[in-house]
């Protein structure tokens, strides 16, 4: 059990050190940075991918393009992309990191939004038009609420990927929780490596909880079939 003792020792050392809780490289500041980078990248990806996915799913035009582009994008090596953008744009701003994060986050959202909308029962679409809903109303009032679980799934997959990749982005000199791990390895400060890893895991779990809550609040019980028959 010596590894466990060592692990707990490092945790105690990391979280017990008052200096780790203050300043620009303290835990609150790093957490906030991590949150900012991830949220910014995810928000930009959602802004691009959701409307595009809705439009393509609803009109049925360009579906093949989505699938091909998404698969290509999935094959991109994360770290390579990061390094390339930093080399191209320099490391003076956050954009060399944000752009590849967005590029990584777009495909899952795009594909799931597109598939979600396209996959809605054609009878339902037919009924909506037959009732006299206009195209936009059919999309907004019927297709999106019904496809919402898949759209949110896409966002969640992207969020996990972005959170994980933001960690790696510390390689390029950016802040965030990855700093603890990368700097820790560089200086053989294992307390920092272990503490940072635990924070990253907790952060990822936190993101999952947030998405579960969002799903709970936005998806109709009639779609999630949460209710049991009374």
Partner 1 sequence: MDDLSFEAPTGEITVLVGPSGCGKTTSLRMINRMIDASEGRILLDGVPVQGIDPPTLRRGIGYVIQQAGLFPHRKIVDNIATVPYLLGWDRKKARARAMELLERVGLDPALAGRYPFQLSGGQQQRVGVARALAADPPVLLMDEPFSAVDPIVRTSLQDELLRLQSELNKTIVFVTHDIDEAIKLGDRVAVLRVGGRLAQLADPKTLLAEPADDFVREFLGHDRGIRRLQFVSTEGLRLRTDLTVPEGSDGGSPEPWLLVVDGDGRPVGWRSAVRPGELEPYGTFVRGRDSMRAALDAALLSPSGCSVAVDEQGKVVGVATRDALDRALSEAVHG
* Site residues (vs partner 1, CB under 8 A): 121, 123-124, 126-134, 137, 141-142, 145-146, 220-223, 225, 227, 229-230
Q: Which of 59, 217, 222, 224 is nearest to 139 (CA)?
A: 59
Find the shortest distance in angstroms from Cβ 223 to partner 1.
Answer: 5
Beta carbon nearer to partner 1, 112 or 197: 112
Beta carbon nearer to partner 1, 139 or 146: 146
Find the shortest distance in angstroms from Cβ 230 to partner 1.
Answer: 8
Beta carbon nearer to partner 1, 151 or 193: 151
Find the shortest distance in angstroms from Cβ 222 to partner 1.
Answer: 3
Beta carbon nearer to partner 1, 57 or 195: 57
Q: Which residues of 41-61 are buried (b: 16+ CB within 10 A; e: fewer)?
A: bbebbbebbbebbbebbbeee
Find the shortest distance in angstroms from Cβ 46 to partner 1.
Answer: 21
Structure tokens belonging to residue 91: 């490391």
Find the shortest distance in angstroms from Cβ 56 to partner 1.
Answer: 22
Beta carbon nearer to partner 1, 74 or 216: 216
Residue 157 has a CB neighbour count (10 Å cut-off) of: 17
Task: Please tell me what DSSP assigns to residue 225.
Answer: T
CA distance 157 to 135: 29
H-helix or E-strand containing 205? helix 190-218
CA distance 82 to 84: 5
CA distance 96 to 111: 25
Find the shortest distance in angstroms from Cβ 125 to partner 1.
Answer: 9
CA distance 113 to 173: 34
Beta carbon nearer to partner 1, 147 or 207: 147
Q: In terms of C-beta density within 10 A (0-12 exposed, 13-18 middle, 19 or more buried), how is residue 68 classed?
A: exposed
Find the shortest distance in angstroms from Cβ 167 to partner 1.
Answer: 37
Report the sign of the C-alpha dihedral through residues 170, 89, 36, 22, in that order.
Answer: positive
Beta carbon nearer to partner 1, 46 or 128: 128
């Amino acid at each position: 059990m010596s590894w466990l003792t060592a692990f707990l020792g490092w945790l105690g050392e990391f979280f017990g050190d008052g200096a780790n809780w203050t300043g620009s490289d303290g835990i609150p500041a790093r957490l906030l940075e991590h949150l900012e980078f991830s949220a910014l990248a995810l928000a930009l990806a959602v802004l691009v991918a959701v409307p595009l996915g809705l439009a393509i799913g609803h009109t049925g035009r360009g579906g093949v393009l989505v699938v091909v582009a998404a698969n290509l994008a999935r094959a991109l090596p994360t770290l390579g992309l990061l390094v390339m953008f930093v080399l191209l744009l320099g490391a003076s701003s956050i954009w060399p990191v944000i752009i590849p994060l967005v590029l990584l986050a777009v495909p899952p959202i795009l594909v799931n939004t597109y598939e979600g909308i396209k996959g809605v029962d054609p009878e339902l679409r037919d009924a909506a038009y037959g009732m006299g809903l206009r195209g936009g109303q059919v999309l907004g009032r019927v297709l999106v609420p019904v496809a919402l679980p898949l759209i949110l799934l896409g966002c969640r997959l992207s969020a996990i990927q972005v959170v994980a990749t933001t960690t790696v982005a510390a390689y390029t000199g950016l802040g965030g929780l990855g700093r603890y791990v990368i700097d820790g390895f560089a200086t053989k400060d294992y307390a920092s490596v272990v503490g940072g890893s635990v924070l990253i895991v907790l952060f990822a779990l936190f993101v999952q909880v947030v998405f579960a809550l969002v799903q709970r609040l936005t998806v109709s019980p009639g779609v999630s079939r949460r209710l049991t028959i009374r």
